[in-house]
Structure 1
């Protein structure tokens, strides 16, 4: 059994992984859309396709990736390989200006980024267990948002005073530092049964629920739909904001965009820690605030044009995303507790998110191209309102929810082979 001192080292390693993972998992994320618009002079619909590409691939590989993470004992290796691939993809964007090379680089990002969130969540659960998960997830998310904030400050300064290409080289450095941070986490501190949400009676092997049983659960279904609807409304919002800022003031666009990210991420650092503690008394009402703020933010983006005001509105995103990042993972852990399918369920949920984000990014690009940014943001506000109503009416409280326990010989056989 791992000593407390050894686990402390691994938990500190998780802090650094969460801090450095920030932009790595998205391959510089929103900066890509501004770079392609203001430096490469791409059209909004081309940018929408490229931005949607990682989500499309994530849709295909997220669930299999989750199943792989449930089974593998090489979770750290997966994070290391993914980080190196992301570094190569960032380099490809800088050295190529045509559509297809950049598109293929983003398909590579989508293929590899699917392992980050479930791997870190699995390692966390495998170290601390279900009982301590709420506060530890809050801590992970706080460090992740702090990393996003620091990365945005550095990227904004690089984009303004050096070059936009420099932001991509900065992301490559982050990838290499993340590899070092992953190695700080000790393999022997990870309980791989705990890491997949499996439980065992005394003297019995951990049992694993059937995939059909898991996916036919009504509570899991409505929760997945609600989260997917949220991301349908949310996914294109920051890229569209970046484009709106870029058209308003191209020279200072990287600073404004970084300011918007910094405002949001700075708030998330504190909100995520609060969300972890507040969720110990129930998940649903905590997450409701994130849903309510989504359409409000979209409407403000639609009717406000001042770059400083647009930057300040991102305060609402900080509150909403800070809650969402923590509580979504906790609700997935609740719904999969005892099934041995924690990471598979993460993969299913993130696949649904990927589908809706891809459709939304492509659709928003065409709406903006033909009707303008105001209409685009209003459409996203309407979808955010629909997501809020659906969530409140149909998604149950998941803390201490009782799920059907896996039973029967077919489950025992699957437990041996999974």
Structure 2
């Protein structure tokens, strides 16, 4: 018990430090390229979309590999070191293609983080305790994002925007140390891939055809993809809108927007884990419904403080989404031995839609302005909400039927 407690504490630190590592400084890159490098919105959209494009190609194979490998900790450590190199590359290069190449690297490695941490968590605590443990992971993840945003905002405002990238490199190194706190012997790798046991033996993994032929899995994946089609460009576009309004304070405004959202997520994620024990669908519906509302408010409000306050809605939605998505994937894959492959499939769909949306939103904004771009995203968000409510089943019932 004492040994497993150490591993669970290690998961806390991994979740905390992973927050701002897996995306290679994420949305700050968009503002950096706009306000410091003076790139056009369409070029920025392509660069921001690059990790999603690569993720589309590698997420599913990465998930299948994580199902098989017993070196999940090593994957996390190697990915962190590669992200550190990509951050350094952005600072040292100002041309389009080197920066684009670095973001391809980010996309290749970030496909490891979410499925690896979820698999390690499932392998340590099992399905019965997964709801509250994922809620705890996500709470620490959002706390890490909030703290990182505070530090990044101060660095960007009072030192240099490049300093944000160096800060991310430090986080990558610390994350490697946190992974080592998790003990390898505490991870049940059959549990970690969602393989139920029969007479003490793990069941054979379901075929990919069986997995992808499941209607519940299909409609759930489409719904999540539609959500991210609307959601992916919102924060980068908000950062650009804030940056154009006040370049000097752009990093502080953006950090404030992130801090507001992440602060709410810390508490919402914990609630989501408990609430989801009584059913997943209605909990996640709240996240879907808030998305078009947030996009419309971004379209018609220009006051930076009001825009930052609107991020409270993102805090609620993303806090619910981060927890419930993993739980629904675990429900749908329970007993198949394909938990991580299904994560990869879902994240590939997210990568495709996020890439298309980032590129498309960049071109729309470049030609028609930010208001039109945000309104278009609100329309997609409304469509995603209707699709989810009408077609996606309650997966808690599916999971219980398998027990």
Query: TM bucket by the smaller chain?
Result: over 0.9
- Match of 2:222? 225
* Equivalences for residues 63-212 of structure 1 within 5 A: 63-212=60-209
- 1:360 pairs with 2:363: no
Aligned residues of 1:264 and 1:319 also touching (Cα < 8 A): yes
Question: Distance between the aligned counterparts of 1:315 and 1:403, measured in 2?
Answer: 34
- Match of 2:57? 60
Aligned residues of 1:233 and 1:380 also touching (Cα < 8 A): yes
CA 31–216 in structure 1, closer or farther in 2 if over 3 Å, else same? same
Question: Distance between the aligned counterparts of 2:376 and 2:140, measured in 1?
Answer: 33
Deviations for 1:363-401, whole angstroms, at most 9, x for unmatched residues? 000000000000000000000000000000000000030
* Structure 1 alignment gaps of length 5 or more: 406-418
Question: Distance between the aligned counterparts of 1:109 and 1:167, measured in 2?
Answer: 16
Question: Distance between the aligned counterparts of 1:47 and 1:180, measured in 2?
Answer: 33
TM-score if structure 1 supplies the norm length?
0.95
Task: Give the CA deviation at 1:59.
Answer: 0.1
Task: Give the CA deviation at 1:204.
Answer: 3.4
Task: Give the CA deviation at 1:402.
Answer: 5.5
- 1:242 pairs with 2:227: no
Task: Give the CA deviation at 1:207.
Answer: 2.2
Deviations for 1:187-231, whole angstroms, at most 9, x for unmatched residues? 000000000000121143432111100000000000000000000
Question: Distance between the aligned counterparts of 2:283 and 2:400, measured in 1?
Answer: 22
- 1:31 pairs with 2:28: yes
* Equivalences for residues 377-388 of structure 1 within 5 A: 377-388=374-385
SS of the aligned residue for 1:399 comes to helix
Deviations for 1:211-253, whole angstroms, at most 9, x for unmatched residues? 1000000000000000000000000000000000000000000
Count of aligned positions: 402
Question: Distance between the aligned counterparts of 1:207 and 1:68, measured in 2?
Answer: 16
Task: Give the CA deviation at 1:47.
Answer: 0.1
Aligned residues of 1:200 and 1:207 also touching (Cα < 8 A): no
CA RMSD of the aligned region, Å? 0.9
- 1:42 pairs with 2:36: no
Aligned residues of 1:159 and 1:167 also touching (Cα < 8 A): yes
Question: Distance between the aligned counterparts of 1:76 and 1:204, measured in 2?
Answer: 24
Superposition misfits of 4+ residues, deviation over 4 angstroms: 402-405
TM-score if structure 2 supplies the norm length?
0.99
* Structure 2 alignment gaps of length 5 or more: none
Question: Distance between the aligned counterparts of 1:224 and 1:394, measured in 2?
Answer: 11
- Match of 2:17? 20
